[in-house]
Each structure stands twice: as structure tokens, then as C-alpha cells.
Amino acid sequence: MTQPFDPSSLFGGGEGGGDNPMAGLLAQAQQMQEQLLAAQNEIAEAQVTGTAGNGLVTVTGNGTGEVTAVTIDPKVVDADDVETLQDLVLGALADLSTKREALAQEKMGPLAGGLGGGLPGLG
């Protein structure tokens, strides 16, 4: 039967590192990597919606930057005023981008803060 990898075995010490601070640091780094991957997956799977004109134009996308849907209320479709519709689409895309960045900051921010505590040059 194969045992799971224990980073402390690289630097001596028993399970969890014992008296070896390097082993504990490696275990902490491995845990942070797992949390980072989980946060990245959560962001990628998230659905984000940007709107403009009080919901007249809606753009939906995922956390990786892909736009998956655009909805335009027929009230803003005017052949004599295409510029307004274009501005609303740009506004909805900008709102989508802002919300996507906020989602990434919410999910990744705590992890980035954790790196600065124990590893010089990463904070």
C-alpha cells in the first residue's frame, strides 16, 4: 500500500515535521498550493454578470474571461442611434471586467496575504 507524500520526510522528522521547521514550511506551502488551485477552479467556474443602462444590456461571462452571453433589451435598438447601444455594450463589458476582478481578489486575496508571512521576498 502506498503512503501519501509527507514533505517532512525530505528533511527528517516524523509526521508533521517534528522539530524540523523546514518540513513544517513545506507542508504549509503544499497546503497553500492546494488552496490556490481550489480558488482558481472556483473562479473559473463562477458566472459573472455585467450590466449597463439599468439592465438594458447584460453581458455574462465566466471567471476566466470568456463572454458566454449578451442580452440587449429591444428598447435600446434604434437604427438612428447605434452609438448609444455601442456605449451600453462597452459599459456592460467594463462592469463585467470589474466584477470578475473583484471575484478574483475575493478568492485569491487571502492566499496572497498568506505568502508574505513566512517567505522573504514573497510579501
Helix axes 21-45, 82-118, angle to 10 degrees: 170
Q: Rounded to the nearest 5°, which phi and psi values hold at 56?
A: -65, -30
pLDDT, the chain, mean:
82
Amino acid 118: pLDDT: 47
Tell me the whole-structure pTM to 2 decimals: 0.64
Q: What's the CA gap between 91 and 106, in Å, rounded?
A: 22
Residue 104 has pLDDT above 70, yes or no: yes
**Tens digit of each residue's pLDDT (9 = 90 or more) over 26-59:** 888 888 888 888 888 888 889 999 999 999 999 9
| Cell 516524523, located at residue | 14
- Return the CA Rg of the chain: 23
Does 13 score more than 60 pLDDT? no
